[in-house]
């Protein structure tokens, strides 16, 4: 395929072609097979990774740490309380120091501009483990899970239900546009995806063959869906809005009745986790045979490992 990503940061899927995303997914499959077989690998021996988190995490932190460690590398976790991250020291200065200490930097936090500044000034690959705008490593895990469950990505109908202006809906829309899926963001009009992102994705879709839609109509959205995806109704930092969101989003809960409205028995359920069962999804659907949430969670490790292999070696 002739793809070379060495030295490139992973900040948003907008920066990657469909061939490059395919390349990352193919490496993910390879390293997952290696891990399952117990094949010893040591690709990151002598390399170091800084993991900088402003927001708590279970899957993102453990995926970065285990993926790097399994390949013989040394990861150093740094919370915002451990270092000067734009406080007392200019962020550009912190980036330049870290770039001299580490081979790569993983960031999880609030502003997309923070991860972009780290990438611009550190001189090493920087990985976006979540910002308020995008969550690109999660999408790779989602797409790997869809391929494992359904065999292919192109033309699959992927429906996001709920708060459609959050980082997950944004990133799923971008990934779907790049990889030729039929993506629908379904939620109340007041929580629809930023029109600028929708327009950009529709532009990409003209080349890839994807279909991008935004709607309030649940029946239209879920009919014949291959996969139903949801996320929490109030993201980190939005807890004060939870009661308002519950009232607004209750009709968009993923429950057995909604899954039946697809008209299919083989529709899978996806969630990036953590889930608030009883809000965005019922326990019944979460624990059902349709649910792929723990495969998805495991795939965070394999896809993050793939991104680091592609950009560091």
Residue 120 CA, chain-centre distance (Å), reads 22
Longest dimension (CA), the chain: 57
Contact of 297 with 266, CB cutoff 8 Å: no
Annotation-wise, does 108 bind a ligand? yes
Q: Is 90 annotated as a binding residue?
A: no
Show which residues are catalytic: 108, 135, 138, 231, 272, 300
Does residue 137 have a known ligand-binding role?
Answer: yes
The alpha carbon of 270 is separated from its chain's Cα centroid by a whole number of angstroms, namely 12
CB 179, CB 283: distance < 8 Å:
no
Helices (H), 11-156: 18-37, 59-70, 91-101, 112-122, 136-150
CA 302 distance to own-chain centroid:
13
Asked if residue 206 belongs to a known ligand binding site, the reply is no
Residue 59 assigned as binding residue:
yes
Query: Annotated binding residue at 60?
Result: yes
Asked whether residue 311 is marked as a ligand-binding residue, the answer is: no
Question: Is 30 annotated to bind ligand?
Answer: no
Q: Which residues of 175-200 are buried (b: 16+ CB within 10 A; e: fewer)?
A: bbbbbbbbbbbbbeeebbbeeebbeb
Is 236 annotated in a binding site? The answer is yes
CA atoms within a 13 Å half-sphere pointing along the CA-CB vector of 10: 31
Could you list the beta-strand ranges (E) of 42-181.
48-53, 74-79, 104-108, 126-128, 157-161
3-class secondary-structure state, position 77? strand
12 is known to lie in a ligand binding site: no
Binding residue per annotation — 43? no
231 is in an annotated binding site: yes
192 labelled binding-site residue: no
Please state whether beta strands 104-108 and 126-128 pair in parallel, antiparallel, or not at all (unpaired): parallel
272 is in an annotated binding site: yes
CB of 24 within 8 A of CB of 289?
Answer: no
Detail the residues annotated as belonging to a binding site. 57-60, 108, 135-138, 167, 231, 235-236, 272-273, 300
Annotated binding-site residues for carbamoyl phosphate read 57-60, 108, 135-138, 272-273, 300
Annotated binding site for L-ornithine: 167, 231, 235-236
């Amino acid at each position: 395929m002739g793809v070379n990503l060495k030295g490139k940061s992973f900040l948003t899927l907008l920066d990657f072609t469909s061939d490059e995303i395919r390349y990352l997914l193919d490496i993910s499959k390879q390293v997952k097979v290696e891990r399952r077989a117990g094949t010893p690998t040591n690709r990151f021996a002598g390399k170091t990774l800084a993991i900088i988190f402003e927001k708590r995490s279970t899957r993102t932190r453990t995926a970065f740490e285990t993926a790097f460690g399994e390949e013989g590398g040394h990861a150093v976790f740094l919370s915002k309380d451990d270092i000067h991250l734009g406080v007392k020291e200019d962020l550009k200065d912190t980036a330049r120091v870290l770039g001299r200490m580490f081979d790569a930097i993983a960031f999880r936090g609030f502003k997309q501009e923070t991860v972009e500044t780290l990438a611009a000034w550190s001189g090493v690959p920087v990985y976006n483990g979540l910002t308020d705008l995008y969550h690109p490593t999660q999408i790779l895990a989602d797409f790997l899970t869809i391929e494992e469950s359904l065999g292919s990505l192109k033309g699959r109908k992927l429906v996001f239900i709920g708060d459609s202006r959050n980082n997950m809906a944004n990133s799923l829309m971008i990934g779907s546009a790049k990889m030729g899926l039929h993506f629908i963001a379904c939620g109340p009009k007041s929580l629809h995806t930023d029109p600028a992102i929708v327009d950009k994705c529709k532009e990409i879709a003209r080349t890839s063959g994807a279909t991008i839609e935004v709607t309030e109509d649940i029946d239209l959205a879920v009919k014949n869906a291959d996969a139903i995806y949801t996320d929490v109704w109030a993201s980190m930092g939005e807890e004060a809005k939870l009661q308002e969101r519950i009232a607004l989003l209750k009709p968009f809960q993923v429950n057995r009745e909604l899954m039946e409205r697809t008209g299919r028995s083989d529709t899978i359920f996806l969630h990036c986790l953590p889930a608030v069962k009883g809000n965005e999804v019922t326990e019944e659907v979460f624990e059902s045979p349709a649910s792929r949430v723990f495969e998805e969670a495991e795939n965070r490790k394999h896809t993050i490992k793939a991104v680091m292999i592609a950009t560091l070696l």
